[in-house]
């Protein structure tokens, strides 16, 4: 198993954030980079593909030293789902294995939660979020009998970002996600 695809994506995102801070360009060119990474499901070490029976997990794969982007492996066990949440920075979600159900949400002027469309992201598909294009969503494993895994790239060290969870009754809670405890993969070894 070679981490070359991840190394290639990390180099690509580093060049991209070096070249622009324009969100539309970051999302468009980042979509191509992440699409190439999730087109190949032969590189993610098992250590970062392990579901936790209690809740979905997030393993940091890489963080830019200047925290301009991070790459995270999200693993959903059967039936696991996120709460409705936001990101506060741009983000790209690429499904590596299985399928995920994504529901967009928004808030009315008086704070009510408004449910948007649900779509299924299959392996190889990439979705985008950001405060500009829509930042609130809920993601669930679309498979009831097996884990699903997606690779996410965010425009910050996402595990340290202050963001929000939205409860059905309208309550908004701040949270910082952190990461599931794992050493970083060594992308320099084949
Ligand atoms: Fe999300």
- 137 assigned ligand-binding residue: yes
Q: Average the pLDDT over 75-85 and give the result.
A: 96
The pTM for the full model equals: 0.96
Q: How far is the CA of 190 from the centre of ligand 1 (A)?
A: 31
Express each pLDDT in 136-158 by its tens digit.
999 999 999 999 999 999 999 99
Distance from the alpha carbon of residue 46 to the mean position of ligand 1, in angstroms: 22
The H-assigned helical ranges of the chain are 4-19, 23-38
Mean pLDDT for the stretch of residues 22-49: 97
Centroid of ligand 1 to alpha carbon of 54 (angstroms): 18
The DSSP element (H or E) to which 150 belongs, if any, is strand 148-154
Other residues' Cβ atoms within 10 Å of the Cβ of residue 15: 12
Give me ligand 1 centre to Cα 86, in Å.
Answer: 6
The predicted structure's pLDDT at residue 160: 97
pLDDT at 164 over 80: yes
Q: How far is the CA of 187 from the centre of ligand 1 (A)?
A: 25
Which of the four pLDDT bands, split at 50, 70 and 90, describes residue 26? very high
Is 152 labelled a binding residue?
no
End-to-end CA distance of the chain: give it in Å, rounded.
7
CA distance 92 to 101: 15
Reply yes or no on whether the pLDDT at 122 is more than 90.
yes
Report residue 14: phi and psi, to 5°: -65, -45
Give the pLDDT confidence score for residue 110 in this predicted structure.
86
Q: Are 163 and 88 in contact (CB under 8 A)?
A: yes
Q: How far is CA 110 from the centre of its chain?
A: 29
Topology adopted by domain 4-175: Jelly Rolls (2.60.120)
Beta carbons within 10 angstroms of residue 146's beta carbon: 13
Name the residue with higher pLDDT: 110 or 74: 74
Mean pLDDT on 51-75: 97
Distance 8 CA to ligand 1 centre (A): 24
Lowest mean pLDDT among 36-40, 127-131, 166-170: 166-170
What percent of the chain is predicted at pLDDT more than 70? 99
Q: Does the pLDDT at position 39 exceed 90?
A: yes
Q: Is the pLDDT of residue 190 over 90?
A: no
pLDDT number for residue 109: 87
Query: Going by C-beta distance under 8 Å and a sequence separation of 6 or more, which residues neighbour residue 52?
Result: 75, 77, 180
Instruction: Look over the chain and give the mean of its residue pLDDT values, rounded to a whole number.
Output: 96
85 belongs to an annotated ligand binding site: yes
Q: pLDDT value at position 169? A: 83
What residue spans define the domains of the chain? 4-175
Ligand 1 center to residue 91 CA distance, Å?
Answer: 8
Q: Tell me how far CA of residue 56 lies from CA of 28, 49, 79, 169, in angstroms.
A: 27, 11, 10, 23
Is residue 34 predicted with pLDDT exceeding 80? yes
């Amino acid at each position: 198993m070679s981490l070359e695809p991840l190394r290639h994506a990390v180099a690509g995102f580093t060049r991209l954030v070096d070249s622009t801070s324009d969100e539309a360009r970051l999302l468009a060119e980042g979509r191509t980079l992440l699409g190439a990474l999730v087109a190949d499901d032969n590189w993610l070490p098992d250590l970062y593909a392990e579901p936790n029976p209690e809740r979905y997990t997030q393993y940091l794969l890489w963080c830019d030293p200047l925290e301009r982007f991070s790459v995270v492996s999200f693993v959903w066990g059967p039936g696991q789902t996120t709460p409705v949440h936001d990101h506060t920075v741009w983000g790209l979600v690429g499904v590596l294995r299985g399928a995920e159900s994504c529901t967009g949400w928004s808030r009315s002027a008086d704070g009510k939660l408004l449910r948007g469309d649900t779509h299924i992201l299959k392996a190889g598909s990439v979705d985008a979020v950001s405060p500009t294009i829509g930042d609130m969503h809920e993601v669930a494993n679309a498979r009831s009998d097996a884990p699903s895994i997606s690779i996410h790239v965010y425009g910050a060290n996402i595990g340290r970002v202050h963001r929000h969870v939205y409860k059905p009754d309208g309550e908004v809670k701040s949270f910082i996600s952190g990461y599931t405890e794992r050493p970083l993969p060594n992308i320099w070894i084949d």
